């Protein structure tokens, strides 16, 4: 049996395909949820949500077992005194932040995270952030972004957070050689793998070393300037990309590094931009490509021909659907996404099988009706829908796991496939 | 503003969701921003319900705020009615929608739906989850049972000769700590007593069931946090008395049986004579002797905290060294209970304050919520969960009530489990420095999570003066500014040999011994604590 998986060429892709746009109840997380992984990535940052008890309850419920660790996030709960104007919100915020920073002197970067209540009452957190930055500098930098549900959906919280960090990135000198920045939170193990691949491609020797954004520590911010080229590692970084472009950086267009094909094309975009010759590129990537391709064969047996239905969640849906369709032979029934950025996803859309039903936004009841009607083999959805659909006899893959698990790059391609194969295997085992 | 690391309760609309999800045939339309659907997960994941909660959210976004969010709400309510055809609807707002003031109740009246619509006013910036559940249940019952209320002054109908007495069971709801099994246990007990159940609510009740609540003779209130408001309204309106005793623990269950018998006007002596709990014998058996006067700290909702303190004291033989609740509405009950144990009640929903109190008291066992598990883990104190908030492991598959005689058995097993077994405790006291059963190892039946501390041990042993600093609670002090440890200036110095002697005291009582000795030294102005001082203090305080 050949280890090479033939990749199905889409006739024309979905670049121009119409998208179903619906409005109604959206069963998604708000951007505050991004704190759950961002606070693990930036190890000396603290996230202070300014919001209601609902916000505190959300993070607590989502953080699950991490509750046992010393958390680097908290909520300043707005109470009726703040709303009635009895207490000056800014004074209150200063008091809370002072208490917090006294308690946690090791914090170097504090994010004031806006929520629906703080946005609706128009609490000016950006002014508060600059005021507090002035007071606590140089020990602590205070920034702000909004993770509110009215403005952001799930992973967009990371976008808003990173976009707020971009203005504080140091400027690179105009004469500096071109440099590469990888943008988007990646699992540490994935970051290290990519670092090694980039090093083998010559970054760090005859080209500047690749920098990752966000960094693991707040004082290790990468430089940015007109010589910076950046690769998006995640599809949900619209505002961050715009902020980087405003500082002169140039985005390298590429599909996202999911699966063998996506990873190769993503690395190639960097290689081409920095003049790595084709022979070197093939030599460096050959081992990873072959390992990943071989590892996928086993999962392809499980997944080929299976029909998959995506509810909107993280904006990762389209790249993952592309991977499932082209590398594992799955059939895409509907691919829902909370928000579709046509420019950043142009390469992905071109690679999707022609005729794939794409939907942006959500009317959850209508979408459930469509889902029940087609009875897909596997449904990718949030935890609010997963168990109820299982009880209706459908097999589900809960989507949030795709954000919390290392899935990018060659070495994780099979892990990503396994995430989809596992529920199907389990269903078979339990029935047998 | 209040700085909050962990919150004991959710917002009040989550309480309303608990009522809606517990009931059948109702639908809740909640005016809320995108993202508030996270609350569905509490029900589908933590409680593992195989259905979506009957809640429609408007999930408005920023762009809707410029437009007509009221129209959005009306569309959502109309569509929800058409799709789900409920027998009654609840409408309300979450915290953000409360700020934009669209008046869901008024909007829904304009829709003129052909079913009762109950508008909920839940002030999100003042009140919390349990209050929301209680208020919602009360509004539902008032709206649905109210029309069947007798004219005031009507004499109460007498029970027909030979008919069995009938009661309602009030309080069990969705996301309640062990409500499912408590209900089964208490239902069986009532049936055994010869009492019929008229309606159980809110769990499993339909709007039609709520309408006939008045048919019962009296009410059994299992969870006052949710049902006492409703029960007092039912008493005023239908003349139904309600039970006050919470049947948690064997003794309380017996009291409960007597109270119910009085309300039902029946003789319960046969039931009482035959009723027995294995827990009672287990606690009497000699194996349990070492449990005597174990120092225990109790925290949770008021109902469970008060009940647990009684069980701990009267049925397990523990010493209650602290009791508290996060539910301010029920502070009085907890203060009353605290008097029984001669301790000061801790009424607070500030996690850090509770952490500081536990660090100060150094109990040998903590009975609390999910939050106290974190505190206890951090301080290296055994812990068992007695109250919400809880995580998924406390919605178990097996039958595990807290109430009734079976509940007492569950409590016995659950609370004793995290403690070190008697023999192990003795051997560690006798032979220190054993490579396997050392003081920093977790109880051996609980498996390996003592490793991290064990690895730190050599460093701590290297100098006598640093030995005390290695105590886990010392490391926490920086984070607990409320800690009431006296300032170091007033504490006498420990002589090295006294410090060594202190480390020979079994670790679970060492914190207390240290505190007592320092207090003793301070009261007598002893500048240097010697081995003599340590034993003087021991003799003085008697333990």
Q: What was the pLDDT predicted at A137?
A: 87
Contact between B116 and B178 under an 8 Å Cβ cutoff? The reply is no
For the cut 90, the answer to whether the pLDDT of residue A364 exceeds it is yes
Distance of CA B230 to the CA centre of its chain: 20
pLDDT at B459 over 50: no
Say what the pLDDT of residue A192 is: 95
pLDDT in tens, B475-521: 333 333 343 444 444 568 898 988 888 887 777 778 888 888 988 89
CB A35 within 8 A of CB A59: yes
Exposure of B491 by Cβ count < 10 A (0-12 exposed, 13-18 middle, 19+ buried)? middle
B-chain CB neighbours of A103 within 8 Å are: 478-479, 481
Which range (A52-61, A347-356, B488-497) has the least confidence?
A: B488-497
| Residue pair B287/B416 in contact by the 8 Å Cβ criterion | no
C-alpha span between A387 and B51 (Å, rounded)? 7
Q: Are B383 and B368 in contact (CB under 8 A)?
A: yes
Token pair belonging to B384 = 């068992």
Cβ B96–A68 below 8 Å, yes or no? Answer: no
> How close does chain B come to A223, measured CA to CA in Å?
33
* Residue A172, pLDDT above cutoff 50: yes
**How do residues B360-376 score in pLDDT, each as one tens digit?**
999 999 999 998 988 88
Q: Which helix (H) or strand (E) holds B535?
A: helix B531-541
Cα–Cα distance for residue pair B511/B381, rounded to 1 Å:
11
A219: how many CB neighbours lie within 10 A of its CB? 9
pLDDT confidence tier of residue A63, bands split at 50, 70 and 90: confident
- pLDDT tens sequence across A258-296: 999 999 999 999 999 999 999 999 999 999 999 999 999
Task: Give kind and range of the element (H or E) at residue B413.
Answer: helix B404-416
Residue A55 reports pLDDT greater than 60: yes
**Interval A368-376 mean pLDDT:** 97
Contact assessment for residue B248 and residue B407, using Cβ atoms and an 8 Å cutoff: yes
Place of tokens 């897909």: A376
* pLDDT higher than threshold 50 for residue B452: no
DSSP B156: P
Cβ-defined contact of B1 to A92 (cutoff 8 Å):
yes
Residue B344: pLDDT band (50, 70, 90) is very high
Calpha distance B523→B262 (Å, rounded) = 53
Q: Give the pLDDT band (50/70/90) at residue B406.
A: very high
Query: Could you tell me if residue A424 is left (phi over 0), alpha (psi between -120 and 50 degrees) or otherwise beta?
Result: alpha
Q: Residue A423: which of A382, A386, A392 has the closest Cα?
A: A386
Sheet holding B218-221, edge to edge: B196-201, B166-170, B218-221
Question: What gap in Å lies between CA B350 and CA B482, rounded to an integer?
Answer: 11
Interface of B with A in 75-94 (CB under 8 A): 76, 79, 83, 94
Main-chain dihedrals φ then ψ at residue B421, nearest 5 degrees: -65, 155
- Residue B31 contacts A, CB cutoff 8 Å: no
Reduce the DSSP state of residue A366 to 3 states and report it: helix
For A183-208, what is each residue's pLDDT tens digit? 999 999 999 999 999 999 999 998 99
CA distance A318 to B480: 47
Of B7, B59, B478, the CB nearest to A53: B7
Q: Provide ipTM, 2 decimals.
A: 0.92
- pLDDT at A342 > cutoff 60: yes
* Dist. CA A247–CA A240, nearest whole Å: 11
Out of A309-318, A370-379, B481-490, B503-512, least confident range? B481-490
Of B73, B142, B74, B143, which Cα lies nearest the Cα of B111? B74
Decide if pLDDT at B330 tops 50. yes
Contact A28 B125 (CB under 8 A): no
What is the rounded CA–CA span in Å between residue B346 and residue B354?
A: 8
Mean pLDDT of chain A: 92
Model confidence band, residue A89 (pLDDT cutoffs 50, 70, 90): confident
Q: What is the pLDDT of residue A65?
A: 56
Q: Strands A396-398, A378-381: parallel, antiparallel or unpaired by DSSP?
A: parallel
* Backbone torsions φ then ψ of B203, nearest 5 degrees: -60, 115
Tokens of B225: 């946090």
Summarize the confidence of residues B123-127 as an average pLDDT.
95
A232 — phi, psi (to 5°)? -80, 125
Q: Which residues pair with A380 in a beta bridge?
A: A310, A397
Angle between helices B12-22 and B129-145 (to 10 degrees): 50
Confidence category of residue B468, pLDDT binned at 50, 70, 90: very low
* Residue in A71, A96, A365 nearest the CB of B1: A96
Q: How many CB atoms lie within 10 A of CB A413?
A: 29
Judged against a pLDDT cut of 80, whether residue A78 lies above it is answered with yes
Q: What is the spatial distance between Cα A417 and Cα A297, in angstroms, rounded to a whole number?
A: 10
For residue A223, what are its two tokens?
């430089």
Sequential DSSP letters for B440-489: TSPPGGG-STTHHHHHHHHHHHHSHHHHHHTSHHHHHGGG-TT--PPPGG
Asked if residues B346 and B354 have their Cβ atoms less than 8 Å apart, the reply is yes
List, in order, residues 6 or more apart from B542 with CB less than 8 Å away.
Answer: none
Residue B225 sits at the vertex; the CA angle it makes with B224 and B226, to the nearest 5 degrees, is: 90
Provide mean pLDDT across the span B119-127: 95
- Is a pLDDT exceeding 90 seen at residue A243? yes
List the single residue in B with minimal CA-CA distance to A101.
B479
Strand-pair category, B2-4 with A73-77 = antiparallel
Q: Is the Cβ–Cβ distance between B417 and B436 less than 8 Å?
A: no
Strand partners, B322: B297
How confident is the prediction for chain B on average, in pLDDT?
88
As a whole number of angstroms, the distance between CA A248 and CA A240 comes to 13
pLDDT classification of B450: cutoffs 50, 70, 90: very low
C-alpha count within 13 angstroms, C-beta hemisphere, residue A71 = 28
- Give the separation between CA B104 and CA B152, rounded to whole angstroms: 32
Percent of chain A with pLDDT over 70: 95
> Any CB–CB contact under 8 A between B455 and chain A?
no
Residue B178: closest CA among B386, B10, B384: B386
Residues 6+ apart with CB under 8 A from B246: B222, B224, B252, B256, B303, B306, B307, B403
Q: What value does the mean pLDDT take over residues B440-451?
A: 58
- The H or E element that residue B323 is part of is strand B319-325
Residue B448 near chain A (CB below 8 Å): no
**B441 vs B111 pLDDT, higher one:** B111
| Residue B345, strand partner residues | B323
Longest CA–CA span in chain A (Å) reads 75
Residue B292 has pLDDT above 90, yes or no: yes
pLDDT for res B449: 47
Q: What is residue A87's DSSP assignment?
A: S
Distance of CA A17 to the CA centre of its chain: 24
- Listed in sequence order, the residues at least 6 apart from B151 whose beta carbon sits closer than 8 Å to its beta carbon are none
Name the residue with tokens 């979450």.
B94
Find the closest chain B residue to A369 by CA distance: B83
- Phi then psi for residue A293, to 5 deg, are -60, -45
User: What are the pLDDT digits (tens) for B213-239?
Assistant: 999 999 999 999 999 999 999 999 999
Nearest by CB to B41, which of A56, A76, A384? A384
Query: Residue B463's pLDDT is what?
Result: 33
**Interface touch A121/B59, C-beta < 8 Å:** no
Q: With left for phi above 0 and alpha for psi between -120 and 50, is residue A291 left, alpha or beta?
A: alpha
Q: What is the pLDDT of residue B439?
A: 62
Mean pLDDT of the region B339-361? 94
Tell me how far apart the alpha carbons of residues B28 and B36 are, in angstroms, rounded to a whole number.
14
Structure tokens at B411: 């409590």
pLDDT recorded at residue B274: 85
| Residue A69 binned pLDDT confidence (cut-offs 50, 70, 90) | low
Yes or no, beta carbons of A387 and B48 under 8 Å apart: yes
Task: Check if the beta carbon of residue B149 is closer than 8 Å to that of residue B121.
Answer: no
Tokens for B184? 């089964």
What backbone torsions phi and psi does residue B445 show, to the nearest 5 degrees?
Answer: -80, -5
Average pLDDT over residues B115-144: 97
Residue with tokens 């194969």: A421
| Chain A residues 317-376 with CB within 8 Å of chain B | 365
The average pLDDT across A332-339 equals 96
Interchain proximity B62–A119, CB inside 8 Å: yes
CA B30 to chain centre: 27
Joined together, the tokens standing for residue B527 give 């500048």
Rg, Å, chain B Cα set: 27
Using DSSP, how many helices (H) and how many strands (E) does chain B show? 25, 15
Q: Are A229 and A252 in contact (CB under 8 A)?
A: yes
Where does the pLDDT of residue B422 fall: very low under 50, low under 70, confident under 90, or very high at 90 and above?
Answer: low
Please report the pLDDT score of residue B490 as a whole number: 59
- B442: confidence class by pLDDT, cuts 50, 70, 90: low
Query: Looking at residue B441, what is its pLDDT?
Result: 62
Nearest residue in B to A58, CA atom: B38
Q: What is the mean pLDDT of residues A394-420?
A: 94
Residue B181 annotated to the active site: no
B212 Cβ contact partners less than 8 Å away, ≥ 6 residues apart = B145, B148, B198, B199
- Average pLDDT of the residues in B534-541: 84
With contact defined as beta carbons under 8 Å apart, do A389 and A379 qualify? yes
């Amino acid at each position: 049996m050949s280890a090479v998986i033939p990749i199905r060429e889409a006739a024309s892709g979905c670049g121009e395909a119409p998208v179903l746009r619906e409005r109604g109840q959206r069963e998604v997380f708000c951007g505050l949820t991004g704190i759950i992984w961002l606070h693990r990535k930036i190890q000396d940052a603290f996230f202070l949500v300014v919001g209601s008890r609902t916000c505190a309850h959300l993070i607590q419920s989502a953080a699950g077992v991490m509750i046992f660790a010393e958390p680097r996030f908290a909520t300043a709960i707005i109470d009726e005194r703040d709303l009635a104007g009895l207490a000056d919100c800014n004074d209150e915020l200063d008091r809370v932040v002072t208490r917090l920073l006294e308690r946690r002197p090791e914090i170097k970067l504090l994010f004031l995270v806006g929520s629906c209540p703080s946005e609706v009452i128009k609490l000016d957190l950006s002014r508060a952030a600059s005021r507090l930055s002035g007071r606590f500098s140089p020990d602590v930098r205070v920034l702000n972004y909004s993770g509110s549900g009215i403005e952001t959906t799930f992973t967009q919280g990371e976008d808003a957070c990173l976009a707020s960090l971009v203005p504080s990135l140091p400027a690179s000198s105009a004469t500096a050689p071109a440099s590469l920045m990888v943008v988007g939170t990646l699992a540490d193990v994935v970051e290290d793998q990519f670092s090694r691949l980039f090093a083998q491609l010559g970054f760090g020797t005859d080209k500047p070393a690749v920098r990752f954004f966000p960094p693991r520590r707040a004082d290790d911010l990468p430089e940015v300037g007109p010589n910076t080229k950046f690769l998006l590692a995640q599809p949900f970084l619209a505002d961050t990309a715009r902020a980087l472009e405003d500082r002169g950086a140039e985005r390298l267009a590429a599909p996202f590094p999911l699966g063998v094909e996506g990873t190769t094309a993503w690395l190639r975009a960097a290689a081409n931009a920095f003049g790595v010759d084709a022979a070197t590129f093939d030599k460096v990537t050959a081992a990873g490509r072959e390992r990943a391709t071989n590892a996928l064969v086993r999962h392809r047996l499980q997944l080929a021909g299976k029909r998959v239905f995506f509810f909107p969640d993280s904006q990762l849906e389209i790249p993952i659907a592309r991977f499932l369709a082209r590398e594992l032979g799955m059939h895409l029934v509907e691919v829902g996404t909370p928000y579709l950025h046509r420019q950043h996803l142009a390469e992905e859309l071109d690679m999707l099988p022609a005729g794939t039903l794409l939907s942006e936004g959500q009317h959850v009841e209508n979408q459930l009706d469509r889902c029940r009607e087609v009875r897909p083999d596997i449904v990718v959805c949030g935890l609010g829908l997963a168990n109820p659909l299982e009880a209706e006899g459908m097999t589900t893959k809960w989507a949030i796991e795709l954000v919390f698990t290392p899935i990018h790059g060659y070495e994780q391609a099979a892990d990503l496939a396994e995430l989809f194969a596992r529920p199907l295997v389990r269903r078979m085992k339990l029935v047998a | 503003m209040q700085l909050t690391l962990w919150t004991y309760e959710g917002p009040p609309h989550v309480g309303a969701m608990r009522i809606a999800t517990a009931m059948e045939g109702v639908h809740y339309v909640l005016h809320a921003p995108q993202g508030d659907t996270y609350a569905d997960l509490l029900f589908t994941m933590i409680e593992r319900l195989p259905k979506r909660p009957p809640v429609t959210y408007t999930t408005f976004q920023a762009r809707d705020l410029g437009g007509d969010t009221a129209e959005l709400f009306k569309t959502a309510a109309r569509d929800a009615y058409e799709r789900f055809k409920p027998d009654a609807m609840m409408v309300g707002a979450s915290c953000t929608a409360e700020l934009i003031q669209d008046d869901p109740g008024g909007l829904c009246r304009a829709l003129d739906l052909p079913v009762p619509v109950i508008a909920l006013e839940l002030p999100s910036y003042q009140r919390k989850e349990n209050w929301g559940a209680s208020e919602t249940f009360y509004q539902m019952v008032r709206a649905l049972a109210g029309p069947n209320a007798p004219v005031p002054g009507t004499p109460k109908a007498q029970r027909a000769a030979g008919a069995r007495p009938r009661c309602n069971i009030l309080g069990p709801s969705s996301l309640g700590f062990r409500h499912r099994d408590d209900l089964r246990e208490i239902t069986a007990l009532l049936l055994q007593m010869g009492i019929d159940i008229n309606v159980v609510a809110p769990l499993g009740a339909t709007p039609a069931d709520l309408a006939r609540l008045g048919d019962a003779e009296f009410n059994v209130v299992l969870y006052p946090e949710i049902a006492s408001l409703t029960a007092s309204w039912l008493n005023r309106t239908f003349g139904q008395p309600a039970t006050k005793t919470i049947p948690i623990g064997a003794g309380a269950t017996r009291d409960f049986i007597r109270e119910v018998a009085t309300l039902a006007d029946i003789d319960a002596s046969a039931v009482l004579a035959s009723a027995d709990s294995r827990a009672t014998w287990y606690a009497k058996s000699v194996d349990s002797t070492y449990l005597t006067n174990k120092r225990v700290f109790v925290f949770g909702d008021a109902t469970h905290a008060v009940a647990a303190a009684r069980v701990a004291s009267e049925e397990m033989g523990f010493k209650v060294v602290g009791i508290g609740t996060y539910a301010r509405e029920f502070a009085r009950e907890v203060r009353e209970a605290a008097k029984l144990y001669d301790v000061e009640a801790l009424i607070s929903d500030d996690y850090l304050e509770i952490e500081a109190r536990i660090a100060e008291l150094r109990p040998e066992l903590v009975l609390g919520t999910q939050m106290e598990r974190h505190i206890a883990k951090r301080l290296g104190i055994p812990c068992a969960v007695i109250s919400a908030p809880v995580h998924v492991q406390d919605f178990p598959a097996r039958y595990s009530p807290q109430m009734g005689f079976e509940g007492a058995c569950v409590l016995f097993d659950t609370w004793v489990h995290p403690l070190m077994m008697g023999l192990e405790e003795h051997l560690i006291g006798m032979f220190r420095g054993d490579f396997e059963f050392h003081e920093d190892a977790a109880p051996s039946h609980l498996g390996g999570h003592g490793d991290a501390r064990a690895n730190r041990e050599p460093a701590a042993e290297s100098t006598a003066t640093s030995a005390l600093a290695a105590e886990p609670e010392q490391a926490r002090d920086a984070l607990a500014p409320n800690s009431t440890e006296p300032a170091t200036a007033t504490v006498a110095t420990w002589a090295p040999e006294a410090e060594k002697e202190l480390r020979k005291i079994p670790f679970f009582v060492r914190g207390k011994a240290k505190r007592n000795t320092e207090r003793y030294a301070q009261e007598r102005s002893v500048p240097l604590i010697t081995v003599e001082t340590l034993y003087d203090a021991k003799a003085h305080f008697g333990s």
